[in-house]
A = this chain, B = another copy of it.
Amino acid sequence: MPAHDSPGSSLAAVRDARPLVHNITNHVVMNTTANALLALGASPVMAHAPDEVEELAAMAGALVINIGTLDQPWIAAMRLAALAVGRAGRPWVLDPVGAGATGLRTRTALGLLALGPSLLRGNASEILALAGEAGDLPRGVDSTVGSEAAAEAATALARRAGCVVAVTGAVDLVTDGSRALRIANGHPMMTRVTGTGCTASALAGAFLAALPDPLAAAAHALAMLGLAGERAAGGEVGPGLFQTRLLDELYRLGPAELDEGARIS
């Protein structure tokens, strides 16, 4: 295993820093994302006005850009914010929701990727589409293949784009192009509620804001969400109660439990 601090120590660092995370995200998950960040112990702000995103970039610990319900005015704001956070030297996460499904999404994601995010997090179909490998395009915003199918593409993309790439699925893969970590936490119920991937990106933003190593930060954020999902899905749970419990677990899970439950290799 590569040298890195433990997931639990990362979680403690996030809670200690209580980072302000600026999100330009989609309409579907804005509430979910804000609540997940609050439950984790971070401080979310959602803002998309071109008139203020640069100001917020100078203030926030990290930026998360999610193109889930994009349109031209929002894309312009995303680009302004990405440039500003880059100038400020802060980390930012790109979530290319539905890249490969429509030309607009692929083009927008590639244009944002060229602005240099710290972390690109998508499902396998999205990462394959951005790596230029057609053939397994997403079905709407859902992947049609497992994360391992995108492992090579993710590595190549990480090298080319100079960022960490995370491919989430039953097993998550995180790579910076040379090192790779796999996170085996999670539960199938996470695919039956909307926005789990978006939550992963947002939590990764909080971890990136508080930690120096984006590879470890991303892996630990994914382990945190996956373990919370496992615990939330205990018993015979439906997707309604699962969502309630997921927030509860993001709030309750402590560093020691995370160290014990994380399955990172």
Nearest-neighbour CB distance to chain B for A252, whole angstroms, equals 6
Contact of A72 among B31, B51, B142, B193 (CB under 8 A): B51
Kindly state whether residue A243 has any CB partner on chain B within 8 Å: yes
- If A28-B46, A35-B193 touch, does A52 touch B238 (CB 8 Å cutoff)? no
A37–B70 Cα distance when bound, in Å, is 21
A1–B199 Cα distance when bound, in Å, is 47
Kindly state whether residue A55 has any CB partner on chain B within 8 Å: yes
- If A35-B193, A240-B245, A244-B241 touch, does A102 touch B52 (CB 8 Å cutoff)? yes
A140–B22 Cα distance when bound, in Å, is 8
Contact of A240 among B20, B28, B246 (CB under 8 A): B246
Number of copies of chain A assembled together: 3
Kindly state whether residue A124 has any CB partner on chain B within 8 Å: no
A34–B29 Cα distance when bound, in Å, is 10
The 6 closest A-B pairs by CB, nearest first: A238-B248, A240-B247, A45-B140, A240-B244, A34-B194, A52-B102
* Given A71-B73, A238-B247, 14 new contacts (CB under 8 A): A27-B30, A28-B31, A28-B46, A35-B194, A35-B240, A47-B98, A47-B102, A48-B69, A51-B72, A52-B102, A52-B103, A55-B104, A243-B247, A244-B244
